[in-house]
Structure 1
């Protein structure tokens, strides 16, 4: 039985898959299996992966009809045999010491989840910004995690699965799987993880390279359901904070404002040649208009959030910022 099962859903990443696989093969830690689930991908990903598997029997390939990354991750979890589970995206790549160092931390502290930092990078592999917890922090109870949850959420990327190493027994025992939602299922999954989590380690080091602005990614296309999916996530966050009896009103206000901002960007993608007048009309017709009236300026404590608030309150300014590249 391998120590780690790496699970990757694969769809339309032919241009990036070699880089991803090579970063896995180059790990200084070799006791792993890499499970690639081909999610009905129409490109040559499967052929490329089969060539790699001929040279390395740790690479395992499963092919199924397109159902989304959540289904593929669940399928990979069912096929996995590792003590730890690591979910990775196939258009990204990892540092050579990720598994050796994070597994060592997880073993030492006997945690259910170890969370680490990442680099966000553009298509030219240029690091733009790093995100990681400021210091090593160990939590050994759910109440202690609950007490610091908003701080943890603010300083780390709680939603993503690729910056976490999970204990497989913890996931299986608590029946933690990705839900049936085309986008945002990783956020819903991790909210449920935190609901059950008792032992968490935050590692102040970046190991993961997250590729920004990839063509054909889910985030680059108009999604008519994105607002509803986003509200599902906010509702789940609200339920979790209520369970923990935490006053998260200000925190949730910011999350709602971020959802509105995200929906503006989504609406902007709806038409190739959108005009300010058309953008205003589409915003006026969208569900986020009602949510906007409930968001308070007083909750916007940072410069980033204040700027975002101004842009969503003034769609004409949002249009201008998008046009000149201040908003991507």
Structure 2
């Protein structure tokens, strides 16, 4: 088994109700050579006190308290403070399988890749979870940057910081940080990590538990600013890909449509619904890209007025106020 140091960064903001479960999953890791950097991002609940108690029990744990900078700012502090060969970002309301760190480090070193992705569960509780069905058709194995970017744009890889473990130098040598002041910050970094890698791996194992019941999570509420932030992220991605990987530029349309449909679901019944539908129309009318089957089916349902009916029956949309 490899013994390289892994830096685990945990941004924490008002997670007093969840952090114990997250830390318990760290204590159960089969890999022991890691440091944990807790970044308390200006919490106003009992989070800081709990973290102080936690770090006092294990010399591998460190706590950094800072004024609130948002998720990106907290993760960026972790990047600057990390001292390991590898880095991993763990969200404090989620938890990980006991073998996650060991399996990923072994894979990184045996396959000589710069980063490795893995699969995850959608969790309702510690005992109630299921395999995610959002992403599919991503074979276990090695990917070139072109292949990995294609998988990302085709929505076969997800834009989640916690769904991969990477070399710390991949961030530091390329000046890669999470964009501060934006939501959907993972969207602004994953493509750069892939683009600056020599080789990427995908491990077909479910190693992460993505908790779905934290209603304070930014992914549970939607604001129009989310759309504006995502639009800026996508513009930056398009520029980077055109300059560095032009052969896969036509694939970006699928990621754009995936985000637009996501926002359409989240903004259902608001004043933004019509404008999002119009933008989806525009993408289909103007694109020269290769739209995948999944997005074509969604669009067909949207134009035949079946889209929201199906979403309602599945409980995937609900009317509500959107800011």
Q: Structure 2 length as normaliser, TM-score?
A: 0.85
Contact 1:116 1:204 in 2 (8 A): yes
CA distance in 1, matches of 2:316, 2:121: 20
Deviations 1:94-139 (A, max 9, x none): 0111111211111222322122221122246422224677544234
Deviations 1:39-93 (A, max 9, x none): 1122212222222222212121111111111110110111111111111111110
CA distance in 1, matches of 2:232, 2:70: 18
Q: Which ranges of structure 1 fall in alignment gaps of 5 or more residues? A: 269-273
**CA 1:87/1:154 → structure 2, altered by over 3 Å: closer, same or farther?**
same
Show the counterpart of 1:94: 96
Q: CA deviation at 1:225?
A: 0.8
Show the counterpart of 2:260: 260
CA distance in 2, matches of 1:108, 1:59: 27
Contact 1:2 1:81 in 2 (8 A): no
Show the counterpart of 1:308: 298
Q: CA deviation at 1:299?
A: 5.8
Among 37, 59, 62, the residue aligned to 1:60 = 62
Contact 1:133 1:203 in 2 (8 A): no
**CA 1:150/1:216 → structure 2, altered by over 3 Å: closer, same or farther?**
same
Show the counterpart of 1:137: 141
Show the counterpart of 2:25: 23
Q: CA deviation at 1:307?
A: 4.6
CA distance in 2, matches of 1:25, 1:124: 16
Q: Which ranges of structure 2 fall in alignment gaps of 5 or more residues? A: 318-323
Contact 1:117 1:156 in 2 (8 A): no
Among 67, 71, 74, the residue aligned to 1:72 = 74
Show the counterpart of 2:320: none
Structure 1 window deviating more from structure 2 (44-53 vs 96-105): it is: 44-53
Deviations 1:122-178 (A, max 9, x none): 246422224677544234xxxx32145313554743411112111112221111111
Q: CA deviation at 1:319?
A: 4.9
Q: Report the aligned-residue RMSD.
A: 2.8
**SS in structure 1 opposite 2:180?**
coil
Among 292, 317, 320, the residue aligned to 2:281 = 292
Show the counterpart of 2:218: 218
CA distance in 2, matches of 1:326, 1:157: 25
Among 295, 303, 327, the residue aligned to 2:316 = 327
Show the counterpart of 1:271: none
Q: CA deviation at 1:222?
A: 3.0
**CA 1:136/1:224 → structure 2, altered by over 3 Å: closer, same or farther?**
closer
Q: What is the aligned residue count?
A: 310
Q: Structure 1 length as normaliser, TM-score?
A: 0.83
CA distance in 1, matches of 2:118, 2:128: 20
**CA 1:148/1:167 → structure 2, altered by over 3 Å: closer, same or farther?**
closer
Q: CA deviation at 1:309?
A: 1.9
